[in-house]
Amino acid sequence: MKICVNRWLNFFGALGAGLLIVGFCLILLWHDPLVFWNDDYEISVLPVFADVARSWSEGHWPLLSPYSWVCGNLAGEFQYGTFSVFVNAAVILIWKFPLTFPQQAAALSITHLFVLAIGAFLLARDRRFSISLSILVALVASLNGWIICWGATDWFGALGAFAWLPWAWWGMERALDVRRTKWRFLWPAPFVYLVITGGFPYAVVMLALLLVWLTIKSLAQTRNVLSILPLAFGTLLGFGLSAPAWLAILDYVRGSARELQPTSEHWQWLVPPAALPGLILPYWTVKWTMFSSRLIPHTATELACGLVAPVALIAGFIWRGGTLVRRIKWELASLVLVLVLAMLPAAGLFRWSFRWLPFFHLILAICAAEALQTWRGTGSTLRWPGSLTPATTALALVILIALTMSIFQTGGPYAFPLTWIFLGLAVLWYFLELLLRNSELGGWVPVAITFLAFLSTYLCIPPNCGVPKYNLSQELIRSSPLDSRHLYLSLYLWAEQTYRTGKKPESVGQIVRLGSTSMWGQLRFIKGYSPIRPAGIARKFGTTVHGEIDPEVGKYLLRNQAGEGGGLARLGVDGIVVARELDVAPQPASEWQLVISTDEGRVFHRRGAPFARVRSVASIPSRSSEQFASATISQINDLRNRVEVDVDVPKADRPALLTFSRPYFRGYEAQLSNQKLAVTSYRGLFPVVEVPAGAHGRLILTYRPYWLSWGTGAAIASVLVVVLSFSLRFVSASWGDQSSARVRQAQGKLSLAPPGNQS
What is d(CA 320, CA 324) in angstroms, rounded to the nearest whole number? Answer: 6
Q: Given a cut of 80, is residue 759 above it in pLDDT?
A: no
Q: Are residues 431 and 502 in the same domain?
A: no
Q: What are the pLDDT digits (tens) for 360-371? A: 999 999 999 999
Among residues 442, 466, 490, which one ends one of the domains? 466
Phi-psi category of residue 269: left, alpha or beta, with phi > 0 → left and psi -120 to 50 → alpha: left
- CB of 394 within 8 A of CB of 450? no
| Averaged confidence pLDDT in the chain | 91
Percent of the chain with pLDDT over 90: 79
Domain that holds residue 210: 173-254+706-747
How many domains does the chain fold into? 5
Mean pLDDT in residue range 312-330: 88
Is 296 among the domain residues?
no
Q: What are the pLDDT digits (tens) for 419-440? A: 999 999 999 999 998 888 777 7
Q: Are residues 427 and 368 in the same domain?
A: yes
Is 298 among the domain residues?
no
The pLDDT of residue 218 is 94
Q: Are residues 152 and 4 in the same domain?
A: yes
Mean pLDDT in residue range 175-182: 90
Is 126 among the domain residues?
yes
Is 518 among the domain residues?
yes
Q: Are residues 152 and 194 in the same domain?
A: no
Res. 746 pLDDT band, cuts 50 70 90: low
Tell me which H or E stretch contains 675. strand 675-677
Res. 379 pLDDT band, cuts 50 70 90: very low
Q: Given a cut of 50, is residue 193 above it in pLDDT?
A: yes
Q: Are residues 134 and 242 in the same domain?
A: no
Is the dihedral angle over the CA atoms 397, 402, 407, 411 positive or is it negative?
A: positive
Mean pLDDT in residue range 528-550: 89
The pLDDT of residue 272 is 96
Mean pLDDT in residue range 246-273: 86
Q: Are residues 141 and 215 in the same domain?
A: no
Q: What are phi and psi of 523, to 5 degrees?
A: -105, 140
Q: Which residue has the higher pLDDT, 60 or 674?
A: 60
Is 320 among the domain residues?
yes
Question: Which residue in 365, 337, 334, 340 sits closest to 353, CA to CA?
Answer: 340
Q: Are residues 31 and 159 in the same domain?
A: yes
Among residues 424, 450, 466, which one ends one of the domains? 466
Q: What are phi and psi of 269, to 5 degrees?
A: 55, 50
What is d(CA 717, CA 237) in angstroms, rounded to the nearest whole number? Answer: 9
What is d(CA 144, CA 138) in angstroms, rounded to the nearest whole number? Answer: 10
- Give the Cα-Cα-Cα angle 474, 479, 480 (nearest 5 degrees): 95
Q: Given a cut of 80, is residue 378 above it in pLDDT?
A: no
Q: Which of 98-112, 177-191, 741-755 has the highest mean pLDDT?
A: 98-112
What is d(CA 688, CA 696) in angstroms, rounded to the nearest whole number? Answer: 17
CA atoms within 13 A on the CB side of 82: 25
Q: Decide: residue 51, CB within 10 A, 0-12 exposed, 13-18 middle, 19+ buried.
A: buried
What is d(CA 694, CA 675) in angstroms, rounded to the nearest whole number? Answer: 13
Q: Are residues 404 and 546 in the same domain?
A: no
Cis preceding linkage at 481, omega within 30: yes
Res. 755 pLDDT band, cuts 50 70 90: low
Res. 752 pLDDT band, cuts 50 70 90: low
Percent of the chain with pLDDT over 70: 94
The pLDDT of residue 318 is 87
The pLDDT of residue 728 is 84
**Candidate from 113-117, 375-379, 482-486, 645-649 with smallest mean pLDDT:** 375-379
The pLDDT of residue 265 is 80
Q: Are residues 278 and 351 in the same domain?
A: yes
CA 532 to chain centre: 14
Q: What are the pLDDT digits (tens) for 497-523? A: 999 998 999 999 999 999 999 999 999
The pLDDT of residue 742 is 58
Q: Given a cut of 50, is residue 345 above it in pLDDT?
A: yes
Tell me which H or E stretch contains 687. strand 687-691
Mark out the alpha helices in 561-598 (DSSP H runs). 567-571
Q: What are the pLDDT digits (tens) for 575-611? A: 999 999 999 999 999 999 999 999 999 999 999 999 9
The pLDDT of residue 745 is 62
Is the dihedral angle over the CA atoms 220, 224, 230, 233 positive or is it negative?
A: positive
Mean pLDDT in residue range 174-200: 93
Q: Given a cut of 60, is residue 695 above it in pLDDT?
A: yes
The pLDDT of residue 442 is 83
Is 263 among the domain residues?
no
pTM: 0.94
Q: Given a cut of 70, is residue 5 above it in pLDDT?
A: no
The pLDDT of residue 377 is 46
The pLDDT of residue 731 is 74
Res. 741 pLDDT band, cuts 50 70 90: low
Q: Are residues 238 and 228 in the same domain?
A: yes
Mean pLDDT in residue range 673-691: 94
Query: For residue 634, what is the domain's CATH number?
Result: 2.60.40
The pLDDT of residue 733 is 63
Q: What are the pLDDT digits (tens) for 702-739? A: 999 999 999 999 999 999 999 998 888 887 766 655 55
Q: Given a cut of 70, is residue 756 above it in pLDDT?
A: no
Pairing of strands 524-525, 487-491: parallel
- Give the Cα-Cα-Cα angle 724, 730, 736 (nearest 5 degrees): 135
Is 295 among the domain residues?
no
- Count of Cβ atoms closer than 10 Å to residue 620 Cβ: 15
The pLDDT of residue 466 is 84
Q: What are the pLDDT digits (tens) for 612-653? A: 999 999 999 988 888 999 999 999 999 999 999 999 999 878
Is 274 among the domain residues?
yes
Q: Are residues 596 and 647 in the same domain?
A: no
The pLDDT of residue 382 is 34
Q: Are residues 241 and 311 in the same domain?
A: no
**Candidate from 28-42, 665-679, 743-757 with smallest mean pLDDT:** 743-757
